[in-house]
Chains A and B, each alone.
Chain A
Amino acid sequence: MAILVIAEHDNKQLKTGTTNTIAAAAKLGADISVLVAGHQCAEAAAAAGKVPGVTKVLVADAAHYVVPLAENMAALVVSIADKFTHILAPATGFGKNFMPRVAALLDVAQISDISGIESADTFVRPIYAGNVLATVQSKDKIKVITVRITAFDPSTAAAGTAGSENVAVVADSGLTQFKGHELTKSARPELSAARVIVSGGRGMGSGENFKILEALADKLGAAVGASRAAVDSGFVTNDYQVGQTGKIVAPELYIAVGISGAIQHLAGMKDSKVIVAINKDAEAPIFSVANYWLVEDLFKAVPELTAAL
């Protein structure tokens, strides 16, 4: 067995999901190589070498890897795939985009979004918005896997000292041209990495009203999230969305405000350690997963909570 983990990074630092994915790979019990494909990404490669459990860092440095376009990432991974039995990437926007392309080019199934590892060929994955857990077995020669990062905690072992080597780059596919990013600028932590998340739903009533959540979030050092209903209603953009088809989160503390608790939303947050729900509807389904709940008008309770902290 030999494992390849594809690092998600910004050429300087690893994204948090990468360390969780390496932690998942470590459960398979074999040498772990980490591929850092980027441009002027030596810093990210050095960071990858320090993650506990990593045996070797493979670096592919070229201008066309400055952003991870699916066509180029897939071609690169496939070019080195025959040395590995397992290829893992985080089930984030990054991994979801190119990993199925890798799997199809290798003519193997992809095992999406695994939350558990039973053996080298058997994995647990949530389906139906996390309402069902399926145990699936793959007999393919190479297992292509995306990892639910909230299901695997990063190793706390001492930093490693893995060496790095360059791998041959694959020429730019020329099929896709990157034009630009329009990223939400925020001083708050990223949703997928936050220790505390304050989320708003349809009950917020407007995008403007999210300001009261932001004030609470700033007191707690929290990220701000939203339900699909709030995104659908145009209160906030889609990158705030927590749920089955948005981001899957599992922070220490999740505060759901004005969120009724559709199963699609619960799918994205029910593994949080402590869940607080504030909703004026005493019958809201969100209360079924909450540790603590308040049946109160959020416009009264949230500012009160902010003031009390």
Chain B
Amino acid sequence: MKVLVGVKRVVDPNVKVRVKADGSGVETANIKMAINPFCEIAVEQAVRMKEAGIVTEILVVTVGLPQCQETLRTAMAMGADRGILVETDVDVQPLAVAKVMKAIIAKENPQLVIMGKQAVDNDCNQTGQMVAALMGWPQATHISKVEPAGDHAEVTREVDGGLETLTIKLPAVVTADLRLNEPRYVTLPNIMKAKKKPLEVIKPDALGVDVTPRLTTLKVVEPAKRGSGVKLADVAELVNKLKNEAKVI
């Protein structure tokens, strides 16, 4: 079975982001970037399925700036076989990415698409669902387990209040949640090996996809800070404050 994994390059989640002085966006120049953590989990899942003999080939795809090649190399160092960068300097939004994915799926015919449930920059949580919609495929978002079996897969989803199990027909799109797996660390020999793996760069036009953003960001600001609190001496003082000052108990 062939698997396609979508990945995104984001600001490293451990970096505190700053709003640009003109309020037009978030400062990303000279900031440490990383593979989106949920995309990393998606790659890991594909690699584990290949190691288990279920998957034969892992294709990893991203959309964005030339630097996104680094993200593909990271995925290939983890074990993906080859990569495609759909290169554009447009700030691509989920619907555009989904259309790019659809065009690539049409050429590559994967049986399963694995993506992260959300990217930790724009926190949209949309792209996997949109790919499934455009393909007319089933979807399973926020999964903590996936077991393909013939023409279908058994999946467990993280839902509010617990877990949900579904049987989905293949081909399908699934999106990874936190507990699906714990991604491996990439080793130096694997980083070297990944440099020799095939990486194709194409433009959205070549796929016939219009990636023009649909939403316009008018401004970005930092939220209001919370007022500073007070350190208390002991539990008795805390109970007193909660009862008499905050009046919440």
Stretch at the interface among A28-36, A162-170, A178-186, A201-209: A178-186
Interchain Cβ contacts under 8 Å between A and B, 28 examples: A69-B166, A92-B160, A100-B133, A103-B95, A103-B130, A104-B130, A108-B214, A109-B94, A109-B214, A113-B123, A126-B123, A128-B11, A128-B120, A128-B123, A129-B13, A131-B16, A132-B26, A132-B221, A136-B218, A137-B216, A176-B167, A183-B161, A183-B162, A232-B178, A253-B249, A264-B13, A264-B120, A294-B238
Bound Cα distance A304, B140 (Å)? 44
Closest to A246 in B: B178
Cβ proximity bits B231-249 to A, threshold 8 Å, 1 near / 0 not: 1101110110110001011
Stretch at the interface among A37-45, A58-66, A152-160, A237-245: A237-245
Chain A interface mostly: mixed
Count of residues in B whose CB is under 8 Å from the partner chain: 78
Closest to A109 in B: B214
Contact between chains at B160 and A70 (CB < 8 Å): no
Which chain A residues (244-303) contact chain B, with CB distance < 8 Å?
244-245, 247, 252-253, 263-264, 270, 273-276, 287-296, 301
Q: Say yes or no: is A172 at the interface (Cβ < 8 Å to chain B).
A: no
Contact between chains at B17 and A176 (CB < 8 Å): no
Bound Cα distance A183, B11 (Å)? 35
Which chain B residues (82-134) contact chain A, with CB distance < 8 Å?
93-95, 98, 117-118, 120-134
Given contacts A110-B124, A130-B223, contact A104 B239 (CB under 8 A): no
Contact between chains at B239 and A135 (CB < 8 Å): no
Q: Say yes or no: is A94 at the interface (Cβ < 8 Å to chain B).
A: yes
Closest to A232 in B: B178
B137 CB, nearest partner CB in chain A, Å: 7
Closest to A107 in B: B95
Contact between chains at A270 and B129 (CB < 8 Å): no
Question: What number of A-B contacts does a CB cutoff of 8 Å give?
Answer: 254
Contact between chains at B138 and A93 (CB < 8 Å): no
Chain B interface mostly: mixed
Closest to B134 in A: A104
Residues of A within 8 A of B165 (CB): 179-182
A: interface residue count bin: 35 or more
Q: Say yes or no: is B177 at the interface (Cβ < 8 Å to chain A).
A: yes
Contact between chains at B133 and A293 (CB < 8 Å): no
Residues of A within 8 A of B141 (CB): 70, 96-97
Contact between chains at A294 and B138 (CB < 8 Å): no
Contact between chains at B129 and A70 (CB < 8 Å): yes
Contact between chains at A132 and B220 (CB < 8 Å): yes
Q: Pick from B125, B160, B177, B227 the residue with the most CB of A within 10 Å.
A: B160
Contact between chains at A132 and B235 (CB < 8 Å): no
